[in-house]
Structure formats: structure tokens, C-alpha cells
Amino acid sequence: MDVSHSNNFNLLRLFLASLVLLSHSFELIDGDRSREPLTRIFHTISFGDLAVDGFFILSGYLIVGSWLNRPRPLEFLKHRVLRIFPGFLACALACVLIVGRLGSNDQYFAEINYYKLLTRLHKLHIEGLPLVFVGTHYADVNGPVWTLNPEFQCYLLVLFFGLLGIIRRPWLYVALGATLAAIYILHFSGVSIRIDRGKDIYQDIVRFMMVFIAGGAFQILTIGKQPNLAVVLACIVVLTLAMFDRRFAEPALATCGGYLILAMGYVRSPFLARFRQLPDASYGTYLYGWPIQKLLLFYFPLLTPLALFGIALPMAWVAGTISWYLIERPALTLR
């Protein structure tokens, strides 16, 4: 991840992490997306989907840039491991020892499958725990961490592409992204393309690879650092129209949305410049947001979505800041 202060990416990532909490505030209470704000407007994707796609776009952009700057395989892999695993492992420890116990009963620790728990951590999974938050919707100790494994797989994909020289062949890289977008559109148009696990493949691999590769394509083609106002306006129109159709919402988000994200990342503003010295608390906010929201709902079930969001967000920001200073930043110094 980029930790420089020459752009607005830290603030953007924190905003995206906050959107995930906003989306979850409605879904965790209702058990569905009937009241989720973005879903109510477009009836396609949620703010949570949009935010996670945004994370993958930015990640693709920055990770491909990292490879282009220093195409050294072992160093590249070490950096990626140090960026994602320490924060995850610390959060997993907190979820197992604190969150899980607060969301269950006295037999909690005795019922943990420690072998399964320990042998799944390298896959960025938290498994082997007994039932927690029984009687609530989405009774999981930390639902969003499932996206970490696909993200790390995308890191490995960049390494693989880099070794093959694909990243140095821009239009080959773009063609791969276009192919994934076509597969995605065909799937949601009713054309059945079964790959390995069937429908899951579109969430776990095709979707994330599509948006991640789109971010990398912006980096390779050096698009977005000097945004054009006419292109920005065109992207806003196209993205808004595409958001009404499930087939095109995320492909448009990967392309037009990616351009808009980068435009915001590089816009020069004295107001935004004030936030460039903030700690990179986005990863921790994302990791701890769900456990905090689940605990609040478990003990205060009458909270409204907006009340839940208003209380959980600053708590998640604090947790993210602590994670950055105590875990993530020290780990990065090992690079």
C-alpha cells in the first residue's frame, strides 16, 4: 500500500471503509438490503459493494505501481505479506479472545476448534469458532474478512503477471480485464459460464479480479494522475446510468468509477491537503467495524441503523488508528 502523503488515497480509503460500516448498519439490523441506501436508489449494488470495489481498484493501482517501481519478486512478496497479515492476525486474536466471548456463553473457549482456527489463519480466514451472536442476523464474528483472501490472491496475480512480463504489455493486461468484464456481464445476463465452483466464482474471483485489474490498468496506462474535467463529467453520467442495471453496475464502477476515484485521489485542494498527515486507519477501520457493530447490536438491539452507524464509526476509527500505530506501521518498518 502507498503510505506517501502526495495524494488523497489515505483519506479516500478511510471514506470507503466508513461506507462499509454505513451499509452494514442497515443490513445487520434488517437481515437484508431492503433499507440499504444505495440499494434503494439503484436496486443493484450496495454502498458496501461499492466501497469494497473501490478498495480493490485503489489496491490494483498501487500494487501494480509498486511492481513497476521495484520488480523484485521476493521483496514484492515480503512487502505484501507485511501489509496485510499483521493487522489481520491482530484483529483475529481480538475477535477470538474478546469479541467471540462477549458474543457467546461461558462454554465459548471450550468449544473452539483450535486446530481449524490455527490452520486457516494463513488463508486470512477466522474459522473454528463456536456459534456467536446467536439470534442475530449474520451471526459471524467478522464477516468482511472474507475479502482479504481474494485481495492477497490479486497481489500474487500481479507477481505472476510481472514475472511473465504481462504488466509491461499494457494492452494485453487491458484485454484480460475486458475479458473478465465480458464474462461478468454475460453471467448477469443469464448466460451460464460455470468455472469450478459455479456462481461463487463471480464473487470470489471474476468480480475482484475485474476491478483490481482495472486499477492496475490505470497505473500502467498512466491514466488518472491529471484528471480531465470533461472526462470526469462523462464518467459520472455513464456510471450513474449503469448503476441501474446489475449487469453493468460493477464493470462501470471498475472503469468510470476507477477514473473518478483516481481523480479524487489526485485532486489538489488546500482543504484535502490537511488530511494527508492522518494515520492510515482505513484497514483497521474495515477490520474492526463489523465486530464493533455486532457487539453494539448484541447488547443494544433497539439501535436504529443511523444510531448504530453514528456510534460504531468513531469507535472503528479509533480501533483503526490503534491498529496502524501499534501493528501495521511497525510491521511495515520491517520492509
Residue 325 lies in a domain: yes
Would the pLDDT of 1 be above 90? no
Angstrom distance (rounded) from CA 269 to CA 265? 11
- Measured N-to-C along each axis, helices 258-266 and 207-220 cross at an angle, to the nearest 10 degrees, of 50
Residue 4 lies in a domain: no
Model confidence pLDDT, tens digit, residues 77-122: 999 999 999 999 999 999 999 999 999 999 999 999 999 999 999 9
Mean pLDDT of 263-272: 88
Count of domains for the chain = 1
Cell of 298: 448484541
Residue indicated by cell numbers 518498518: 333
Model confidence pLDDT, tens digit, residues 197-237: 544 555 668 899 999 999 999 999 988 788 899 999 999 99
Residue 246 lies in a domain: yes
Range of the domain at 29: 9-332
Q: In degrees rounded to 5, what are phi and psi of residue 3?
A: -120, 15
Q: What is the pLDDT of residue 188?
A: 86
Q: Residue 316 in contact with residue 277, Cβ under 8 Å?
A: no
Report the Cα 203 to chain-centroid distance in Å.
Answer: 13
Q: What is the pLDDT of residue 29?
A: 97
Residue 1 lies in a domain: no
Q: What is the pLDDT of residue 197?
A: 52
Q: What is the pLDDT of residue 274?
A: 82
Residue 285 lies in a domain: yes
Residue 211 lies in a domain: yes
Q: What is the pLDDT of residue 103?
A: 95
Residue indicated by cell numbers 461499492: 50
Global pTM reads: 0.93
Q: What is the pLDDT of residue 3?
A: 44
Residue 2 lies in a domain: no
CA 26-144-77 angle, 5° bins? 155
Residues 6 or more apart from 16 whose CB is under 8 A from it? 51, 52, 54, 55, 58, 282
